[in-house]
Amino acid sequence: MRLSASLAALAASLAALAAARSAAGDRLLVVADDAAQYSDLLAALARRGFAVDVRAAANTSVALSEDGRRLYDHAALLAPAAKRVGAGLTAQAFVRFVNDGGNLLVAASSAASDLHRALAAQFGAEFARPGSRVVDHQARNATADHATVAAAIARPAAAAPILSPDLRGPVYFRGIAHRCDPANPLLTPVLTAARSTYSTPLADPPLAGRALALVSVLQTRRNARVAISGSADLFSDALAPTNRRFVRDLLQWTFQEKAVLRETAHSHRLAGAAAADAAAAVTAATHQPEHYRIGNDIVYDIALSVYHDDAWHPYVADDVQFEAIMLDPYLRLTLNRTRAKDTATATATATASATYRGRFKLPDRYGTFTFRVNYKRTGYSNVDVRDTVAIWPLRHDEYPRFLTAAYPYYVGSLVMVLGFLALCAVWLWSADPAALANNHHHPAQPPNDNADDDAAAAAAAAAKSKSKPSKSKQKQKQKSS
Amino acid sequence: MGGSSKVLGLTAADQASLLRLAILGLISVVAIGSRLYSVIRFESVIHEFDPWFNYRTTQYLVKNGFDKFWNWFDETAWYPLGRVVGGTLYPGIMVTSAAIYNALHLVNVPVDIRNVCVFLAPVFSALTAVATYQLGKEVKSATAGLLAAAFIGIAPGYISRSVAGSYDNEGIAIFLLVLTFFLWLRAVRLGSALYGALTATAYFYMVSAWGGYVFIINLIPLHVFALLAMGRYSNRLYVAYSTFYALGTLASMQIPFVGFQPTFTSEHMAALGTFGLIQLVAFAQFLRGLMPARHFQVVVRGALVGLFAAGAGALVVLTMRGVIAPWTGRFYSLWDTGYAKIHIPIIASVSEHQPTPWTNFFFDLNLLMVLLPAGIYFSFRELTDNHVFLILYSLFAAYFASVMVRLILTLTPIVCVMAGIAMANALEAYLDFRSSSNNDGGGSGDAAQPADTQNSSSTEPSGAKRMHGWLGRTVVVVNLMYFLWMFQFHCSWITSSAYSSPSVVLASRGPDGSQHIIDDFREAYYWLRKNTRADARVLSWWDYGYQLAGMADRPTLVDNNTWNNTHIATVGKIMASDENTAYELARRHDVDYVLVVFGAMLGYSGDDINKFLWMIRIAQGVYPDDVSEQAFFTAGGEYAIDDSASAAMRASLMHKLSYYRFNEVMGQHGFDRVRRQQLPTKVELSNFAEAYTTENWMVRIYKVKELDNLGRRHRAAMAFDGGS
């Protein structure tokens, strides 16, 4: 049993090795007019397991999709001056490709065509005016035209997963700058220029210094990745000696070879059910009731794994948050990692994941809640897990039965019942009016004594009702006669 | 005559009861039959809006049993708030249907629950006729009872709420109303605790069936109070009311929706006060027997003044401190018809809550309306305890019916009874063609009491006879018969033309008289049912909430159970906002689809653009900073939708969803057939995508787009995609 399980795990890991090293697939289209210029890059890509398909831009057989299905998992547009690609691949076709989940690298140059501009604009990157280029007169390895600039690696606070932390040193860039549209929340610059850099010819307002982006990345809401570079030369053999590591990091990220985050399982259940079997807790949804009741104790589990270095690893973080939302968040708590779970799932499924768990008590509010883990960190894939959960009010017999505060009322009703019984007893067994002569036995009797004297006496109501039926019987008799 | 003439071996009395039975049976057949127009014309379908909720809950009850039904929390209604269905409905009609359904299945009659629901109201209308007969017999005579039964069987005022398919609370509640009153009158007449308890039982059933039970619990105390004030206190009254109130109130509190209301809301205070008063009066009567008259007078005066002051003071103080819940808005609107329009637009927006135009009385009651005063007159002539009740009922129901259209329904039974009394009086006087005036026992074989009443007014027939001979009588009788005959025509015409449309399905007639069925609503709901995720949230104006839940089986944000004004106002705000604001709000509420009803193609005037002003008003009530009614009128104060419309109107989501692409079908110079205005020339929509539009463009469904995958604005994305 154990042997077969480990064999299966081995087979699975072998299969993982044989497969592409990108988490998204291995079919890569490279559109390059002069492929020889990128031989270093292409060789590296092939080495990393990509099935690289290099096509010239003018090749009319280039297509991104066929019958509505993608032909490639990734595309690199390394033809910076191409006015058109293939038979008629428009910017729309590339956007559709990305919307279908393909990853895309767009590399332009000073001669960037309308295609590049239109495409980059859709991702929120606005290239500088046609023909303009980035210039830095203080660059250390300045060429004659000062157009190869040493760019600084932008490290936005949370962009660590995109570029390795130990990546240092200048990256050389020759091409066109772009401006990031602040309205697009998904776009992040990863390569920015030194303060002395500017785009020439000058525009109004001038594009210079920090405002000017050289390479930006964007991850779509559905986790496709796009990199936009103003320079195709950045990827060329000529600049490879300095740029190789940056290019590797950038493309590894873009083609989903790292920082791919996913949720492998999540569940929520009543806290009581969790203790019963802890091992299968994450994967099994068997303990999820149709709905919860207010105030229930709930355990929420979510397993996250991250892809890098050819395999899925447990994703370790201390900021995984859970929310229970009904219009507004009623609960927000940070989930804690449960260590025991990692190994268990690792052996079970060849993918390792880290399990995060939260225990909480549902609010005293019924309605349709959304249990949500909305984990979005720059560079990592978005994880947005939602469960719509109905929280019902208590059943009619689930409310507390006896309340201390209500004891006076209980006593009250009890006294009422006893009093009524006592009255009945007194009424039934008290003296017959005819035996009035037999003096007093009960001091409380006088009203009764008067009853037959005065027919209108209120206490005689019951007596009346005794006499009534006979009257109505008489009437019925009249009717029938 | 008596037993002298036997036909088929039956005495005259037996013949009379056989005849009565046969007549009642025929009345029942007519009552049921005339309510079936809608089934014959259209199909066996649930009508309107509220019945769809009742139908859905009945299905749930039949499927899941009573325990689950009792504790049902419907998370698909009022998304995301949900609705505690078990605790916020009157379960009477559902339980009744389920009981009938289960009973039929027990004897192997495999009837569909839908058909039980569709035919429930007609069947109960037959029971109403029987109960009305009993009521009429109780207060006057069997003749009056039969006439009243015949009237209520076909009176349009009642038919309007009880045609086949109109599966609403009123369908059974009117029967229970009449039954409760009948039992009450009998309990008062006999002073019987048994009938008092039966009254309470019928009242309990009524409470479980309809919110209109408040009418009973105010009218009966009023009756008691009036009798006390008239010095007609009797032990019969005491027994009847004490039994009824104690048992009825305890029973009514078992309905979760009512709960403890009878102990602390103003609507129920009159009954409680009367209960206390009658105890005091009874005690006073008791005291009177014990002490000399002179002392008694002093005691009574002092006690009355003291008690009244204390009671009124307590009521005021408790109300002010909030112990007794103040009157609800609906109640205020009963006294001041302008109140709702100013303070609670959501009540005023319902057409059946509008004041009644006088034509409606004629429309719904016709001849009966004329006979009502006559009935009141005859009731005054012989003022028994029961007749006091009839008069009070007439006056109050007539008042309420003039305040709110829908309350004509509660007026109808008493009008029928009064008309029955009036007609019976007239006929008894003029239909007696015997020359000998003394003996009048044979005609009806009446009960003792009605016989008494006839004796007391026996001078009238003889007087009439003196004045009019055979000819005069014939003229009067023929006249009356002619009116009755016309009344019957009127009723069937109204029923067939006005009250038998299911409103879910519409019909129109072509120029050649052929019928054309317009089934857009069900088309749209069915599309939603078949083409969207099971948990897709659909936003629409609240009118369509129950139908969406019932027919499309999709979660809705608001529905006809208008319990949360803020939520409704939010929907109104979404409709009245510009596209971007509306999009944000819609996404915040997890809306997947937006549904609007649009009548410009067919000229269907009940569409959302015509209701739009109410949405705006309701939204303005809650969000006065964001929505302003004035902004939706043109500078000239007109409610325009064409190019001259105000900026807010043209930008509003409702306008866009309604007219989006409409001129593609109507032409550039097209015409809105409801508003009779030119179409707006340019309607752009980017955050919402048209998902479905029905055959006659009556229902339009839009999908709320996801956020753009690339982080663009939808307008920019659409402009880009359009150029591919």
The H or E element that residue B516 is part of is strand B515-518
State which amino acid sits at residue A79.
A
Check residue B688 and give its pLDDT.
93
**Interchain CB contact of B715 with A (< 8 Å):** no
A460–B73 C-beta distance less than 8 A: no
Q: Please, which residues 264-303 of chain B have a Cβ atom closer than 8 Å to chain A?
A: 282-283, 285-286, 288-290
CA distances from B344 to A45, A157, B337, B560 (A): 69, 53, 11, 16
Asked whether the bond before A201 is cis by omega within 30 degrees of 0, the reply is: yes
Q: How far is CA B89 from CA A60, A387, B95, in A?
A: 68, 29, 12
Q: Same CATH fold, A260-392 and A20-254?
A: no
Instruction: Give how far A171 is from chain B: nearest CA, Å.
Output: 27
CA atoms within 13 Å, Cβ hemisphere of B64: 15
The three-state (H, E, C) secondary structure of B45-87, written as one string = CCCCCHHHHHHHHHHHHHHHHHHHHHCCEECCCCCCCCEECCC
Q: Give mean pLDDT, residues B261-267.
A: 85
Statement: residue B459 has pLDDT above 60: no
d(CA B303, CA B696): 72
Q: Tell me whether residues A222 and B709 touch, CB distance under 8 A.
A: yes
Euclidean distance between CA atoms B228 and B277, whole angstroms: 9
- pLDDT lower than 70: segments of chain A: 1-20, 139-147, 152-159, 273-288, 340-351, 431-481
> Looking at beta carbons, which residues of chain B come within 8 Å of A184?
710-712
Please give the residue of chain A at the shortest CA–CA distance from B723: A92
Q: Which residue of A has its CA nearest to B279?
A: A458
pLDDT above 90: residue B604: no
Q: What is the pLDDT of residue B446?
A: 38
The pLDDT assigned to B307 comes to 82
The answer to whether the Cβ–Cβ distance between B724 and A92 falls below 8 Å is yes
What is the domain-level CATH number for residue B576?
Answer: 3.40.50.12610
A392/B710 CB distance under 8 A? no
**B-chain residues near A97 (CB < 8 A):** none
Q: How far apart are CA A407 and CA B685, in angstroms?
A: 64
Task: Taking residues B596-617, report their average pLDDT.
Answer: 89
Is there a contact between B711 and A458 if contact means CB atoms under 8 Å apart? no
Q: Answer whether residue B147 shows pLDDT above 90.
A: yes
CA-closest candidate to residue B711, choices A376, A269, A413: A376
d(CA B298, CA B261) in angstroms, rounded, equals 37
What's the pLDDT at A287? 57
pLDDT of residue A2: 47
Interface test with chain B among A465, A475, A478, by most B beta carbons within 10 Å: A465
Q: Could you tell me if A147 and A134 are in contact, meaning their C-beta atoms sit under 8 angstroms apart?
A: yes
Subunit contact A454:B79, Cβ cutoff 8 A? no
Q: Is B540 inside a domain boundary?
A: yes
- B480: its two tokens: 């009356």
Question: Which residues in chain B are contacts of A221 at CB distance < 8 A?
Answer: 706-711
Record: contact A458-B286, CB cut-off 8 A:
yes
Q: Do A185 and B290 touch (CB under 8 A)?
A: no
Option in A221, A464, A472 nearest B707 (CB) = A221
Put simply, whether the predicted model's pTM sits higher than 0.80 gets the answer yes
Residue B391 forms part of a structural domain: no
Residue by residue, what is the 3-state secondary structure of B368-431? Answer: HHHHHHHHHHHHHHCCCHHHHHHHHHHHHHHHHHHHCHHHHHHHHHHHHHHHHHHHHHHHHHHC
User: Strand runs (DSSP E) across B555-678, as ranges?
Assistant: 593-597, 671-672, 677-678
Residues of A in contact with B86 (CB under 8 A): 396
Chain A positions in Cβ-Cβ contact with residue B588 (cut-off 8 Å): 327
Residue B518, SS3?
A: strand
The answer, for B309 touching chain A at a CB cutoff of 8 Å, is: no
Question: pLDDT tens-digit profile of B66-116?
Answer: 999 999 999 899 988 999 998 889 999 999 999 999 999 999 999 999 999
State whether A479 and B81 contact (CB < 8 Å). Answer: no
pLDDT at B445 over 90: no
Of A186, A187, A367, the CB nearest to B82: A367
* B10-19: long-range contacts, CB 8 A cutoff, minimum separation 24: B12/B442, B12/B445, B13/B445, B16/B142, B16/B444, B16/B445, B17/B445
* Interface A-B: count of C-beta contacts within 8 A: 132
Say yes or no: B531 contacts chain A, CB-CB below 8 A: no
A359 beta partners: A299
Instruction: Name the domain count of chain B.
Output: 1
Kindly list the distances between the CA atom of residue B560 and the CA atoms of A183, B91, B564, B570, in Å, as whole numbers in the listed order.
Answer: 41, 17, 10, 15
Buried b (16+ CB within 10 A) or exposed e, B291-304: eeeeeeeeeeeeee
Judging by DSSP bridges, how do beta strands A125-127 and A225-229 pair with one another? unpaired
Residue A399 to residue A293: CA distance in whole angstroms: 12
pLDDT of residue B291: 80
CB-nearest to B709 from A187, A220, A469 is A220
Cα B321 from chain centroid (whole Å): 33
Q: Is B99 on the interface with A (CB under 8 A)?
A: no
Domain boundaries defined on chain A: 20-254, 260-392, 430-480
Q: Which helix (H) or strand (E) holds B538?
A: strand B538-539
* B721 touches A: beta carbon within 8 Å: yes
Chain A residues with CB under 8 Å of B73 CB are: 291, 366, 390, 392-393
> pLDDT tens across B538-597, in order?
999 998 999 999 999 999 999 988 888 899 999 999 999 999 999 999 999 999 999 999
pLDDT of B386-407, one tens digit each? Answer: 999 999 999 999 998 888 888 8
May I ask the CATH class of domain A260-392? mainly beta
In sign, the C-alpha dihedral spanning A277, A278, A283, A286 is positive
- Please name the residues between 21 and 40 in chain B that touch chain A, using a CB distance below 8 Å: none
**Domain A20-254 = CATH 3.40.50.880:** yes
User: Hey, is B181 helix, strand or coil?
Assistant: helix
Nearest CA-CA partner of A257 in A45, A100, A14, A40: A45
Which of B73, B80, B709 has its CB closest to that of A326?
Answer: B80
Of the candidates B598, B464, B600, B503, the one whose C-alpha atom is nearest the C-alpha of residue B541 is B598
Predicted local confidence at residue A444, as pLDDT? 45
Residue B453 has pLDDT above 50, yes or no: no
CB contact under 8 A, B191 and A468: yes
Domain containing B647 equals: 517-722
Collect all residues of chain B within an 8 Å Cβ-Cβ radius of residue A468: 190-192, 236, 239
| Residue in chain A lying closest to B255 (CA) | A396
Highest mean pLDDT among A266-280, B18-32, B425-439: B18-32
The CA–CA distances, whole Å, from A464 to A461, A468, A471, B246 equal 5, 6, 10, 19
Beta-bridged to residue A270, according to DSSP, are A298
DSSP one-letter code for B343: H
What pLDDT score was predicted for residue B329?
66
CB contact under 8 A, B235 and A456: yes
Average pLDDT, chain B: 86
* A367 in Cβ contact with A305 (< 8 Å): no
| CB within 8 Å: A221 and B709 | yes
Cβ atoms B631, B616 nearer than 8 A: no
Asked if B530 and B554 touch (Cβ cutoff 8 Å), the reply is no
Q: Which residue reads 């892809």 in tokens?
A: A307
Mean pLDDT of B502-525: 84
Query: Is A220 in contact with B720 (Cβ distance < 8 A)?
Result: no
Q: Which amino acid is at B16?
A: A
Residue of A nearest to B586 (CA): A327
**More confident call, B478 vs A209:** B478
